[in-house]
Amino acid sequence: MQDPLYPQRRSEKIVLEAISDFVDFVRCYEPVFLYMLAKKHDILHQMEYQKLKQFIEYGEKRIKDLDKLISGVYSDYKLGEIDEARYRRLMREYETEQRDLEPQVEKSKSDLETFDQKAIDLRLLLKTVREQTDVKELTPVLVNSLIERIEVHNNDKYDGHCHVKVDIYFTVVGMMNVPDEKEIQAMMEEMTNNPKTLKLVS
């Protein structure tokens, strides 16, 4: 009779092995890991981060300038310095630009918060990995620092055995297969040939 706790124990074993392999890879090949991450996630690129900050600064300034322009056009119209047709045209242009710009700035602010949070998560992940020497058990620190979520799928039964499928999503990284030595060597050559690879947000 099969152990009723087998699926749970098997899942824990799979997670432990995956974390152990991941920790060993990141600890031994941190630059390669960061290179992989930079290629996979635009959200962590330093250049994109700076572009986002610059757009927010521009957008907030432009919205304030548009407020002044709208106020100025209204005053000119009331003073009779511009006719109604020009007044309506300018107001329509300024208000449309402002209405379009405001949600773009808000979305950019939300994206910037995501950048900052992922940078914090990445620092915590690297700190945790650097402190590990040999992963032998699942601890709260390991799981909370390294794992975003774990999905255990319905058991598949074949060959007379119950097979458990587990998808592990690492913090910041998502699902990732640890590269083999050949893949690591290929990435190291890429890094050598592309020394100006976009820097990650830190």
pLDDT, tens only, 65-78: 999 999 999 999 99
Bigger pLDDT: 106 vs 3 = 106
Cα(128)–Cα(135) distance, integer angstroms: 11
Question: How many Cβ atoms from other residues are within 10 Å of residue 172's Cβ?
Answer: 24
> pTM of the predicted model, to two decimals?
0.67
| φ/ψ (deg, to 5) at 62 | -65, -40
Report whether pLDDT(95) > 80: yes
Q: Which segments of 30-120 are extended strands (E)?
A: none
List beta partners, residue 166.
152
Tokens of 183: 């893949």
Bigger pLDDT: 80 vs 39 = 80
Cα(44)–Cα(38) distance, integer angstroms: 7
pLDDT in tens, 55-65: 999 999 999 99
Cα–Cα distance list, 154 to 99, 124, 128, 167, 176 (Å): 49, 32, 31, 12, 21
pLDDT in tens, 147-200: 988 887 766 665 555 566 788 899 888 888 889 999 999 989 888 887 655 555
In the chain, what are the domain boundaries? 6-190
How much is the mean pLDDT over the chain? 84
Q: What is the pLDDT of residue 201?
A: 53
